[in-house]
Amino acid sequence: MRILDRSVYVGPSLYARFPVIRLELDLGELEAWPTGRLGAPFVDALAQALPGLQSHGCSYREPGGFIRRMREDEGTWLGHVLEHVAIELQNIAGEEVTFGKTRGAGTPGVYTVVYEYEQRDEGIAAGELGLRLISSLLPADIRPKDAVPEGWSWPEARDEFIRFAQRRALGPSTASLVAAAEKNGIPWLRLNDQSLVQLGHGKYQQRIQATVTGQTPHIAVELASDKEETNKILATLGLPVPKQELVQSEGQAVRAAQRIGFPVVTKPYNGNHGRGISIRLTTDAEVAQGYLVAREHSRSVIVETFLEGDDHRLLVVNGELVAATRRTPGHVVGDGTRSVAALIEIVNQDPRRGVGHEKVLTRLELDAQAHKMLERVGMTEHSVPEAGQVVYLRSTANLSTGGTATDVTDVIHPDNREMAERAVRAIGLDVGGVDFLSKNITESYRKIGGGICEVNAAPGFRMHVAPSEGTPRDVAGPVINMLFPPGAASRVPIAAITGTNGKTTTSRMLAHILKMAGFTPGLTTTDGVYIDGQRTVAGDMTGPVSARMVLADPQIDVAVLETARGGLLRAGMGVNEVNVGGVLNVQADHLGLKGIDTLEQLAEVKRIVVEVATDCAVLNADDPLVLRMSGYTEAKNICYVTVNPQHTLVREHIRAGGRACALEAGVNGQMIALYDRGGHIPLVWTHLIPATLEGRAMHNVQNAMFAAAMAFSLGIKLDAIRQGLRTFDSTFFQAPGRMNVFNEHPFKVLFDYGHNAHAVAAMADLAQRLDVTGRRIVVLAGPGDRRDEDLVAIAQAVAGRFDHYICRRDDNLRNRAGDEVPKIQAAALKAAGVKERAIAVIPDEQDAINAALAMGEPGDLLLIFADALVRSWKQITKFRPAGLPATNSGHHDQAASATDGAALPAALPQYAGDGGMAALSLEGLIRDERGVRLAPEAED
């Protein structure tokens, strides 16, 4: 039994709309051992190891359902068991996850196991520990070899897993703030492995780190950390504080205690969480020892008056007290028969107690500090306290050391409430916790005394949201309302675009429209991340990481996310929802990769984008696979895009008041028109959009229609849409590798990154529409990881439409032989009727492009499909035709049609070793300067 593959999805995916982990699990010989055959010993042992499995309903949808399923005659298979174990392991670590599903993967004994997770590393570890636990419970004769290390202990492994999870999980305070943000519909991003969290997107974002917010003044945090200065400031305002002195040696500590008067307290100058504090010190020796304890946590130590009374934490947010809690140090109560150690075990059996912050209470520990507290009262762990005797194991009341908390918000005296609010305002904190000692919080400090021990920046919320006794308080809500007052924006509009072809151009068009409309767009594309039109990160940035990168940028106020198939399959989407989602088309590309073998499966992947759209799903009505996606979206609106004005479904949709973008014929050409709520809105003539080459580039006409429809659905004004489309062109600098035109040579060059049959056919169609007085020459290729039939389809898309064909390969062979791809395509061209002498096999991309450029004559059109975009574009722009400086070899006398199989230029060396098809070697040609490779990897 082993894990063959694992994928961690950070957002919506094929499996769920929330984060899940997918395991491909091979049971091996254990396929023959379902739980029914393993029998009661296995089921009982598993239920004992993880009692929480009793609450799993499984297919019976009631508590106990999963255990019942395992006990049936046939039972269930161990892949399904692992799913439930991984979920329950996260549950015992404090995470509320419930979703899971297990299905056969198509191969006997191999299963796809999917389960929900909250924290990535914890979720992965849950799957691995679950596998080990299951293996440990199997009979020895069928247990996988080396599955369980010698000496492995389940209780130890369980507790270590819980501690591992808690080290990586959000703390209780941060988690409560995140939960409150989610309740208010505010998105959030975790920015590091600790407690730094971004609430909101783009320019609307606010940040928190635990309970310190982006609005917390730095000087206030510094003051709160300086206990001596805090004491002085509060004293000058007449607030009740103990006398204190700052010391740097044992002798100074003893003398300070003598001046202040016993009993005293020693504590670190800048400590927290109750660390290093010693209380009720009554002798010089105890003070000296207390100094040493505090000195372990701070260079300076404070000696202050010991105040009688209960320890209270008063929480103030935005100037108002929102919660008050009485804290009691960790302790046991004697019964006259049991020892201290036995009483501790009984207390720890409380289901509310766990390891660290796992649960609302923390387990008591019989450690060095506990032994010291026992020693003070003349006890050991073996002592038997009298019935009712309270034995304290800690000197401070922190919950993290086993203390308990009782909510007293409703009974605190108004004077004490006002005192706490004044203290926090005096320090300058937006969120502050006042530690206040009082014998009775219901009476005024003015009457019975009491005092402020300290004011805390970043006060913990755990004691307030989950007190041991009393009413839980929503203390995170007021913080969120302070950061995002009612009506304040927290989200930026998000548009996500997917499809086989046209994604990058459409995304760039839409971002350009938004910029022209006055927005600051963040854009992710196959060649980088752009903020307000400037590229900030280079590379293929069409997955969830880049989406979060854009949304974390404090400058942007709208996001355009090009969303690729590869990212969706590898890690899901980077956001849980988008305002507008668009699917341009679904065509044959990347089939046979990552388990996607059919167009229908590919459509299911791309459909995720519209499934998470909230406002509008923009769909290509001319693509049947895309059209069917309308039944899977919950968006408020559906906008159909069609170049067919006779489209029956779109016509009925428009008549019903629906939204659409259609291409309509007019006296002056073709008009892009919008329809919405019964209205007809002529938008722009296609020949006025530079990127369409006067309307001839139909694929860019359709891309422009999608950009217009999505901009309209985002609420952009019509004039801004028109201005954006009329000022967007297809230059290399605005849309690299997307139908770039170079006219500076005597011949015209079309430059494109098309890498599938649909994209190549679109460019071939454009080449036929353009006015060409000379010949048409194409440089053709295909990614090496595509199926042979896909490479053949690319060749068939251009066959018979050009005069010369040069077949090449990409730099990245993707496990193909050096000339395998060009030979496959050359053979396909020949099979389609292209004469051998019109076909050249030149494997190297640079050599192939140079050969095409060398062939060019006035009036010719060169269509070059490139992979290394920057390098190839430099080749084209720096090439010097014959007769100019730095001439290249290669010239021919006459043009001929593809039908008569015109010969390749005689000046170029011929190679007839490939079935008569010419293979050119241009090592003797002068190569242009090579650029850094910036072409995206084989992602659609």
- CA 125, CA 89: separation in Å to the nearest integer? 9
pLDDT tens, 818-876? Answer: 899 999 999 999 999 999 999 999 999 999 999 999 999 999 999 999 999 999 999 99
Q: Specify the pLDDT at position 771.
A: 87
Q: What is the mean pLDDT of residues 613-632?
A: 96
For the chain, give percent helix, strand, coil, nearest 5.
35, 20, 40
Q: What is the mean pLDDT of residues 648-670?
A: 94
Q: Specify the pLDDT at position 356.
A: 62
- CA 417, CA 526: separation in Å to the nearest integer? 57
In percent, the amount of the chain with pLDDT more than 70 equals: 92
pLDDT bracket for residue 360 (50, 70, 90): low
Give the residue among 937, 227, 62 at the shortest CA–CA distance from 543: 937
Residue 591 CA neighbour count, 13 Å, CB half: 20
- Which residues lie below 8 Å from residue 592, measured CB to CB, with a gap of 6+? 786, 787
Q: Specify the pLDDT at position 733.
A: 80
In percent, the amount of the chain with pLDDT more than 90 equals: 71
Q: What is the mean pLDDT of residues 91-112?
A: 93
- CA 769, CA 859: separation in Å to the nearest integer? 15
Q: Specify the pLDDT at position 142.
A: 92
Give the residue among 759, 639, 658 at the shortest CA–CA distance from 711: 639
The answer to whether the Cα torsion of 880, 883, 888, 891 is positive or negative is positive
Q: How many residues does the chain have?
A: 940
pLDDT tens, 398-451? Answer: 776 778 899 999 999 999 999 999 999 999 999 999 999 999 999 999 999 999
- CA 830, CA 835: separation in Å to the nearest integer? 6
- CA 318, CA 1: separation in Å to the nearest integer? 55
- Mind giving me the DSSP string for 302-366? EEEEPPPSEEEEEEEETTEEEEEEEEE-SEEE--SSS-HHHHHHHHHTSTTEESTTSSSEE----
The answer to pTM > 0.85 is no
Mean confidence (pLDDT) of the chain: 89
The answer to whether the Cα torsion of 924, 925, 928, 931 is positive or negative is negative
Strands 431-438 and 451-457: antiparallel
pLDDT tens, 228-259? Answer: 899 999 999 999 999 989 999 999 999 999 99
Q: Specify the pLDDT at position 500.
A: 87
Give the residue among 655, 656, 653, 691 at the shortest CA–CA distance from 672: 691
Looking up tokens 């039994």, which residue turns up? 1
> Could you tell me the strand order of the sheet in which 404-407 lies?
404-407, 320-328, 310-317, 431-438, 451-457
892 pLDDT above the threshold of 50: no
C-alpha gyration radius of the chain: 36
- Count of beta carbons in the 10 Å neighbourhood of residue 646: 7
The lowest-confidence range among 45-49, 524-528, 881-885 is 881-885
pLDDT tens, 737-791? Answer: 888 999 889 999 999 988 888 889 989 999 998 889 999 999 999 998 888 998 9
Specify whether the CB–CB gap between 588 and 237 falls below 8 A: no
| Residue 150 phi, psi dihedral angles, 5° rounding | -65, 135
647 pLDDT above the threshold of 80: yes
pLDDT tens, 514-565? Answer: 999 999 999 999 889 999 999 999 888 888 999 999 999 999 999 999 998 8
Q: Specify the pLDDT at position 900.
A: 36
pLDDT bracket for residue 272 (50, 70, 90): low
Specify whether the CB–CB gap between 295 and 301 falls below 8 A: yes
- Eight-state DSSP code of residue 928: P
pLDDT tens, 484-521? Answer: 999 999 999 999 999 988 899 999 999 999 999 999 99
268 pLDDT above the threshold of 70: yes
The lowest-confidence range among 155-159, 610-614, 882-886 is 882-886
Partners of 537 in beta bridges: 529
Q: What is the mean pLDDT of residues 151-177?
A: 92
